[in-house]
Amino acid sequence: MSTDSTVPDATSPPDSSTRPDTPTLPIATRRRAFARLLPHLRGRAGWLVVLLVAGTANAAAGLVGPWAIGRLVDALPAGAGPEVVWTSAIAVAVAGLVMAVGTWIGAWALARVAMPAVAGLRTDVVGAALALDAQTVERTGTGDLVSRVADDSRRVSETSTQILPLVVESVLVVVVSAIGLAAVDWRLGLVGLVALPMYWLTLRWYLPRSAPLYQQERAAIGRRSGRLLGGLTGARTLRAHRAEHIELARIDSASVEARDLSIGVFRFLTRAFSRNNRAEAVVLSLLLLTGFALVWFDETTPGAVTTAALVFHRLFNPIGALVGLFDQIQSAGASLTRMVGVIDAAGSRDREAAATDTATDATDTAAEAVPGSDGPVAAADGGARSAGLVLRDLWYSYDDQVALPGEQNHVLRGVDLTVAPGEVVAVVGTTGAGKSTLAKIAAGLAAPSSGSAQLIEDWPVIEDSSVSEDGPVNESGSVIEDRPAIVNGPAARTGHEITTLPEHRLRAHVAMIAQEVHTFVGTIRDNVAMPVPDAPPAAIEHALRRVGADWAFALPHGLDTVVGDGGARLSPLQEQTIALARLVLADPDIAILDEATAEAGSTGAHLLETAAAAALEGRGALVIAHRLSQAEAADRVLVMEHGQVVEEGPHAQLVAAGGRYAALWEAWSG
Amino acid sequence: MPAPPSSGRTLLSRALVRRLRLLLPGVASLSVWQVCEALVPVVIGAVVDIAIIPRSLPMLAVSIAGIALLFTVLSYGYRFGARLCNAAREHEAHALRVEVSHAALTSPDLPPDRASGEVLSIASADADLAAEVFAHLGRGVAALLGMIVAAVLLVLSDAVTGLLVLIAVPVGLVLVALPGRAVSVKAGAQLAATARAANSAADLMRGLRVLKALGGAEWALRRFRTTSDDAAVAGVATGERSGRLSGVGALVMSAVLAVVLVVAGLRLLDGQMSAGALIAILGMTAFLTEPMRALADIVGLTARSHGAASRIAALLTDLAETHPKTHSAAEAPTEPAHAAPSHDGPSHSGPSRAAHPQAEPGHAAPPHGAPRLAVTAHASGLTVSGDSLPAVDVPAGTLLCVLVDEDALAHDVLTALTSQSRVLGPDHLLVTPHAVDLFEGTIRSNITMSSGTDMTASPGTAPAAPPASGDVAADVLAASGADELLGLVADGLDHRIQELGGNLSGGQRQRIALARSLHAQSRILVLHESTTAVDAVTEARIAAGIATLRCDAVTLVVTGSPAFLAAADAVVYVPADAPAVTGTHSGLLGAAGTIGDSYREAVAR
């Protein structure tokens, strides 16, 4: 993808040859979701039992009140003494104590079970998203992931803290009260069961209608927010064109739409509550009617009927809560399946990666670049070695229908590129020439449709900077003797297809800074440490100084200044120097730069170029040149046009040759 | 235009007054519902008393009819009351939202300390929160009325026990409420921790591509695990505390129930009270806790609404204040411009005045003396002047580039021109900011600045109104380089643009913005580093294209791009520490001495 070519996931069909489920990630089944949740619950079985016991005791103690009232209704007119009153009162008080302890312990146990389980799942999802292979992330975009990993996980977390306790308590109260009702009189218990189909019918009526309504409402609110944000951020442009009224009208209409939908949703909700009321009235009447009949035939006492009616009355709120919260529970469940979908998507990849890892781990220790060590890696046989890239006959298309080379619609059309250790290669070309796609393939962020992209880990470093095209030879004792891949070329050399390499191994050699700049919420120190989490402070400071980020030390809190969303604001230039400092700290053998100096003005462009040059010192690089001065500084320049390399050579040579590059340079340098 | 509400209180009372038609019947209806809820235990007691104990069939029929009636009234009371209060709330929230967004978009400028994110949060979350006051009001008044009715009924059924209940229940609630505050603080902290975890996840996902490209997965997971575990720990603490609080609540209410039960039981024993009254009193004792607790919650929730209302009122006041302020700030530079519509006279009327006003708002001037660079628009073109530059008129048909070493100076020049453009209008002077703003719609609607859906374009009173049909001239597309991207996207000009142009790259966005600026056909167009994300090849084509397209108008480009500098008719260069100079790109590149050196250094290639 070039500076400004199309974003693939917005305009092109997904490449089903690499991942059939893109551009959206899969959604797990409920069973899968539960299976993922289970391991997090397993270690807490003890607390689950405590929760169950405490909750049941609490619910049972709640029945004492209605029982005591019924007892008084029966006993007192029958001539019992005040001791009945006292014992009943004591029973109520003791029940209060049980309820207090039961509520307390129950809530505690629930929190002990739910909070760590949700936190574990939350972390699993983030871990899974981080482990997704880079090509998937490039293809699906990050929007779906943000919504699943942040929004869905937030919904599940909030449901577990705010709604789950209520739901658990309500369920226990309903179940225990039903048992209590049956214990008072089994026939009254049977009548109470009539409530079940009635509430079930309410849910059957409510749920299928509510889900789309809520969805529409959420979508309308999202549209409203989007238009508000668009209007507010674009206020300057709107004002310049005197076009405020257009956006205002659109904001108003979105707001009206959301308002009317919300009102409609609420009207619907009140109808559901009316159904609840109807069920309450019917069951209460039935209980009293049956009670009357039982009393009539001396089958039971008025006190028992009283108890039954009061027990049922006590259920109004919990049942109402359950019915009212049902859609929130459902929505949390849907969020859960979407979260687990991410885990499953990454899980399949995990296994593949693990398989590759075990196949290579035994031998790749020597080849592993040690983060923080400067320069080429000394291999087992003693010669200085570093990594290089060999890309051969690359074809790439966003359109999965066009799989074969030679057909139309290819962004890359048979590109060859070699980056030897320490060599800086610049790529120049127009929009849509395929520069950025080439960079992504080299960095392992995209898989070529055909052709080979290999990382050579044991390329001997030749002091002469003009590295021969032949590259490394597979010497005896080579560190990658397993699964050797033969690359077409003048001489056989060993390498690994970049797309099959485990990420940690690839990133030890190749790192990229793309056009997208992101500063994470955290300190500047944290932000720089991203590629090497355990980097010593001195290394971080050194990295920042090397890219000329002296401004960071001058901040009020220095490197501990919190930046990112909500923190201190950095200029785009400063954010880009942080990205370069990360690269210095990561210290890869090959750096790939595709950073557009889009936001930097004339002064900024200079600073950034100096910083980039400092960051590239001592390593090989593939630089997508957005400014010709970047090409001028490179060892070799590739001129691309329509997915093909049309000119190649050192800057001076190309300028002297008088071809396309020379014409560009003429226009550029004035 | 009426003055905006000065405080949260006035905003809420205005809201109350203007929604009274919905609120009055709504609150009345909700009160009926709450009273009916209070009557349920009373009715149960009455049925036992009059029908079941005496085994009276006729009374049973009456009882069942009574229950049916009670629940019907209860149900409709809630349904209509809640609907009316909710409608009041939604309408008010919408009205506040519209008010805030209108004020924000039509104010000359957002106050500098208010980011658009903050305004967005005020226009969405705070508008909702403030309007929520109606929901609280409905529930609160209803709860109060329900309690009063219950109290009257209690005293009527049995004065002694009734009074006891009326004293014991509030005392019990106060006992429960005392530790409640500490718990709500904890709960707030826990919500914040959960939100932090979610925000951290969102932050990491937004930066996922950056993480992937540099191999930062381990770092990210470590960070997130810490945040997430913190939220879990806070969650357990809150769960335990709120459980303890509800436990205490259950204990206190059981104690109250036990006391009432003793008193009522003994009075029943003395024959001073019926069994039905006992059921009613004990049932209501349990019931009373609901509205009382609701009332206690509502106090806190209303405070929240009031806070939101205060934020809205503060923003509206701020926005209303920027109107006069910015006008006074804009006065100076627009003074010459004001003369413009009145005559089409000689263009040299401006220069002498133009040089000075700039110094005031621009802060571009050194502490003493003339500004380093001033640009003023007038009827037929621009006047450029500065401390070392004699005032020069820029005639129509000129492409002028300005290269300024100090970003602050460039910013000031652009700010001054922007405030002039507000007076002159886009047909005369259009200043295009560097940051590209795209709007949801199509590429076409973004270029023509018409609505992407059904709205018609600008008022049309302007003399050189752009074609309202939404047609974009081919030469505009070619000159802006937008033609190239139309071939790359589906549907060409009718390609959908998502919110904020999120589906386009930086270079694509810049070229659409450029096409928009050119489409407006203003007599004077000011651009600022408008092709920084466009590749060098295309940039050269764009510069040449703009020079050709705008051969009858004035174009000023603030840039360091050699493509534009080379295409310009003239270049004004303001070094950081030397007087400004004018010339051509090749002339300045070849200039000897320090000025040539610093120019060559300044040109961003």
DSSP string computed for B270-321: TTSS-HHHHHHHHHHHHHHHHHHHHHHHHHHHHHHHHHHHHHHHHHHHHHHH
Instruction: Using alpha carbons, list the distances in angstroms from residue A167 to A328, B63, B140, B250, B491.
Output: 11, 33, 25, 18, 50
A61 compared with A158, residue with greater pLDDT: A61
Count of other CB atoms within 10 angstroms of residue B346: 10
Q: Residue B512: CB partners within 8 Å, gap ≥ 6?
A: B436, B438, B443, B446, B447, B480, B482, B485, B497, B501, B504
Q: State the amino acid at position A23 in one-letter form.
A: P
Residue A356's pLDDT is what?
46
**CB within 8 Å of B222: residues ≥ 6 apart:** A533
Answer whether residue A381 is part of any domain. no
Rounded Cα gap, residues B550 and A539, in angstroms? 53
Q: Would you say residue B1 has pLDDT above 80?
A: no
* Cα gap B329→B333, rounded to integer Å: 8
**Mean pLDDT computed over A409-436:** 85
Using a CB-CB cut-off of 8 Å, the residues of chain A touching B514 are: none
- Residue B368 confidence class, pLDDT cut points 50, 70, 90: very low
Nearest by CB: B537 against A10, A251, A664: A664
**Average pLDDT over all residues of chain B:** 80
Residue in chain A closest to B81 (alpha carbons) equals: A270
Q: Which of A130, A273, A335, A655 to mutate to test the interface with B (most CBs of B within 10 A)?
A: A130
| Confidence (pLDDT) at A51 | 93
Residues A428 and A308 in one domain: no
- Put simply, whether A579 touches B (Cβ < 8 Å) is yes
pLDDT, position B521: 87
pLDDT digits (tens, 9 = 90+) for B108-165: 666 555 666 678 788 888 898 899 888 888 888 888 888 888 888 888 878 888 888 8
Q: Choose the weakest-confidence range: A92-106, A389-403, B201-215.
A: A389-403
The answer on pLDDT for A419 being more than 70 is yes
> Does residue A326 sit within a domain?
yes
Cα B49 to chain centroid distance, Å, stands at 59
- A312 and A393 both lie in a single domain: no
Contact criterion met (CB < 8 Å) for A289 and B60:
yes
Same domain? A310 vs A443: no
Q: Which of B72, B93, B78, B80 lies closest to B22 in space, CA to CA?
A: B80
Give the residue from A172, A292, A296 with the most B CB atoms within 10 Å of its CB, the best one to mutate: A292
Nearest residue in chain A measured CA to CA from B104 = A232
Q: Residue B333 pLDDT > 50, yes or no?
A: no
Q: So what's the pLDDT on residue B503?
A: 66
Residue in A465, A455, A460 with CA at minimum distance from that of residue A386 = A460
Within 13 Å and on the Cβ side, how many CA atoms surround A507?
25
- Rounded to 5°, the CA angle A153-A157-A162 comes to 145
B287 vs B243, higher pLDDT: B243
Instruction: Look at residues B318, B376, B370, B314 and name the one whose alpha carbon lies nearest to residue B126.
Output: B314
With cut-offs at 50, 70 and 90, classify the pLDDT of residue B323. low
Summarize pLDDT for A234-261 with one digit per residue, the tens.
888 888 888 888 889 989 999 999 999 9
What integer pLDDT is reported at residue A653 of this predicted model? 93
Select from B207, B239, B511 the Cβ nearest to the Cβ of A520. B207
Domain B8-321, CATH homologous superfamily name and number? ABC transporter type 1, transmembrane domain (1.20.1560.10)
Share of chain B above pLDDT 90, in %: 18
| CB-CB neighbors (< 8 A) of B480 in chain A | none
Q: For A89, which of B261, B459, B586 is closest by C-beta distance?
A: B261
The radius of gyration of chain B from alpha carbons, rounded to an integer in Å, stands at 36
Judged by CB atoms closer than 8 Å, whether chains meet at B243 and A97 is answered as no
Claim to verify: residue A629 and residue A542 sit in the same structural domain: yes
Residues A451 and A340 in one domain: no
The reported pLDDT for the residue numbered A597 is 57
Are residues B203 and A564, on separate chains, in Cβ contact within 8 Å? yes
CA–CA gap between residue B204 and residue A203 (Å, rounded): 39
* Residue A379 reports pLDDT greater than 50: no
Domain stops at, among A344, A359, A380:
A344
The tally of CA atoms less than 13 A away on the side-chain side of residue A49 is 5
| Poorest-pLDDT segment among A346-355, A652-661, B244-253, B372-381 | A346-355
Statement: residue B402 has pLDDT above 50: yes
pLDDT at A18: 34
Query: Looking at A573-666, which runs of residues are DSSP E strands?
Result: 590-593, 620-624, 636-641, 644-649
β-strand pairing of B441-442 with B496-497:
antiparallel
CA distance B189 to A161: 13
Q: ipTM surpassing 0.85, yes or no?
A: no
Q: Are residues A452 and A316 in the same domain?
A: no
B218·A606 Cβ contact <8 A = no
Q: What proportion of chain B, given as a percentage, has pLDDT over 70?
A: 84
B506 contacts A598? CB cut-off 8 A = yes
Highest mean pLDDT among A282-286, A442-446, B381-385, B596-600: A282-286
Flag whether pLDDT at B249 surpasses 60. yes
pLDDT at B452 over 70: no
Q: Are strands A384-396 and A412-419 parallel, antiparallel or unpaired?
A: antiparallel
Please determine, for residue B372, whether its predicted confidence score (pLDDT) is greater than 70: yes
State mean pLDDT over A59-69. 91
Q: What span, in angstroms and rounded, lies between the C-alpha atoms of A170 and A164?
A: 10
Nearest-CA neighbor of B77 among B127, B27, B23, B42? B27
Q: Are A513 and A583 in contact (CB under 8 A)?
A: yes
Amino acid identity, position A223: R
Each residue of A447-485: pLDDT tens digit? 888 888 888 887 776 544 444 444 443 333 333 333 333
Judged by a CB distance cut-off of 8 A, whether residue A626 touches chain B is yes
Residue A322: C-alpha distances to residues A318, A330, A412, B162 (Å): 6, 11, 58, 33
Q: In this predicted structure, what is the pLDDT of residue B467?
A: 41
Q: Which residues contact A221 (CB under 8 A, 6 or more apart)?
A: A258
Enumerate residues 505 to 544 of chain A having a beta carbon within 8 A of any beta carbon in chain B. 506-508, 511-522, 526, 529-533
> Which amino acid would we find at residue A639?
V
Residues B489-503: pLDDT tens digits?
A: 777 788 887 766 666
The reply to whether residue B41 touches residue A227, judged by beta carbons under 8 angstroms, is: no
Q: What is the pLDDT of residue A240?
A: 84
CATH number, domain with residue A625: 3.40.50.300
Chain B, nearest residue to A112 by Cα: B236
Q: Which residues of B touch A150 (CB under 8 A)?
A: 198-199, 201-202, 205
Helices B159-206, B133-157: inter-axial angle, 10-degree rounding = 160
Interface of A with B in 103-162 (CB under 8 A): 103-108, 110-112, 114-116, 118-119, 122-123, 125-127, 129-131, 134, 137-138, 142, 145-146, 149-151, 153-154, 157-158, 160-161
More confident residue, B362 or B381: B381
The answer to whether A234 contacts B438, with C-beta atoms less than 8 Å apart, is: yes
Is the pLDDT score of B325 beyond 80? no
What's the pLDDT at A349? 54
| B contacts of A590 (beta carbons < 8 Å) | none
Residue A598 DSSP SS3:
coil
Q: How many C-beta atoms surround the C-beta of residue B108 within 10 A?
A: 18
Q: Which two tokens stand for residue B300?
A: 């806190």
DSSP E strand stretches across A516-632: 522-523, 562-563, 590-593, 620-624
Q: Do A284 and B44 touch (CB under 8 A)?
A: yes
Task: Using the predicted structure, report yes or no on whether residue B417 has a pLDDT greater than 50.
Answer: yes
Q: Which domain holds residue A603?
A: 388-398+410-459+493-669
Q: What is the mean pLDDT of residues A617-624?
A: 91
- Cβ–Cβ < 8 Å for A346, A132: yes
How many contacts, defined by CB atoms under 8 Å, are there between A and B? 577
Across the interface, do B203 and A565 touch by the CB < 8 Å criterion? Answer: yes
**For B528-553, how does the pLDDT look when each residue is reduced to its tens digit (9 = 90+)?**
888 887 877 788 889 999 999 988 88
Half-sphere exposure of A342 (CA within 13 A, CB side): 30
pLDDT band per the 50, 70, 90 thresholds, residue A487: very low
In a domain, A4, yes or no: no
Same domain, A304 and A424: no
Q: Compute CA distances A327 → A222, A330, A339, A473, whole Å.
A: 19, 5, 18, 65
Q: Do A255 and B98 touch (CB under 8 A)?
A: yes
pLDDT (0 to 100) of residue B365: 40
Q: Which two tokens stand for residue A361?
A: 């781990």
* Extended strands (E) in B192-256: none
Q: Count the neighbouring beta carbons within 10 Å of the beta carbon of residue A655.
A: 19
For B336-603, which CATH superfamily applies?
P-loop containing nucleotide triphosphate hydrolases (3.40.50.300)
In this complex, which of B55, B426, B534 lies closest to A240 when CB atoms are compared? B426
Q: What pLDDT is attached to residue B604?
A: 55
**Domain definitions of chain B by residue range:** 8-321, 336-603
Rounded to two decimals, the pTM is 0.76
Neighbours of A176 (CB within 10 A): 20
Residues of A in contact with B41 (CB under 8 A): 310, 313
Q: Which of B105, B312, B326, B450 is the best substitution to test chain A (most A C-beta atoms within 10 A)? A: B105
Report the candidate in A352, A338, A295 with the shortest Cα–Cα distance to residue A19: A352
pLDDT of A348 higher than 80 = no
Minimum-distance CB partner of A292 among B60, B82, B275: B60
Residues 6+ away with beta carbon under 8 Å from B487: none
Q: What is the pLDDT of residue A15?
A: 33
Residue, of B81 and B451, whose pLDDT is higher: B81
What residues of B are in contact with residue A630 (Cβ under 8 Å)?
none
Find chain A residues with C-beta within 8 A of B94's C-beta. 255-256, 258-259
**What is chain A's alpha carbon radius of gyration, rounded to the nearest angstrom?**
34
- The Cα–Cα gap between A294 and B221 comes to 65
Instruction: Kindly tell me if the per-residue pLDDT of B384 is higher than 60.
Output: yes
Structural contact between residues A231 and A248, judged by C-beta atoms closer than 8 angstroms: yes
Q: Please tell me which residue of chain B has the smallest CA distance to A628.
A: B605
What is the nearest CA distance from A218 to chain B, expressed in angstroms?
13
Asked whether residue A203 carries a pLDDT value surpassing 80, the answer given is yes
Instruction: Decide if pLDDT at B181 tops 80.
Output: no
Predicted pLDDT at B458: 36
A627 neighbourhood in chain B, CB within 8 Å: 536, 604-605
How many separate domains does chain A show? 2
What does the alpha-carbon distance between residue A392 and residue B202 come to, in Å, rounded to a whole number? 38
pLDDT interval class at A40 (50, 70, 90): confident
On whether the CB atoms of residues A439 and A649 are closer than 8 A, the answer is: no
Can you give the pLDDT at residue A586?
92
Q: Which of A161, A240, A273 sits opposite B190 (nearest CB)?
A: A161
Tell me whether residue A165 is in a domain: yes
Lowest mean pLDDT among B168-177, B331-340, B562-571: B331-340
Whether the per-residue pLDDT at B511 is higher than 50: the answer is yes
Segment A403-427 shows an average pLDDT of 81
Please write the tens of the pLDDT for every residue from A275-302: 989 999 999 999 999 999 999 999 999 9
- Phi first, then psi, for residue B227 (nearest 5°) are -60, -45
Query: How far, rounded to the nearest angstrom, does the alpha carbon of residue A56 sit from its chain's CA centroid?
Result: 38
Tell me whether the omega of the peptide bond preceding residue B341 falls within 30 degrees of 0, making it cis: no
With respect to residue A570, please indicate whether it lies within any of the assigned structural domains: yes
Nearest to A365 by CA among A268, A250, A458: A458
Query: What confidence score (pLDDT) does residue A260 get?
Result: 94
Residues of A in contact with B71 (CB under 8 A): 277-278, 280-281
| B54 has pLDDT over 70 | yes
* Strands of A510-513's sheet in order across: A510-513, A590-593, A620-624, A424-429, A636-641, A644-649
Q: Min CA distance, A570 vs chain B (Å)?
A: 14
Angle formed at CA A423 by CA A419 and CA A426, multiple of 5 degrees: 75
Residue B524: Cβ-neighbour burial (10 angstroms; 0-12, 13-18, 19+): buried
In the prediction, which pLDDT does A285 show?
Answer: 95
Question: What's residue B78's pLDDT?
Answer: 94
On average, the pLDDT of chain A sits at 80
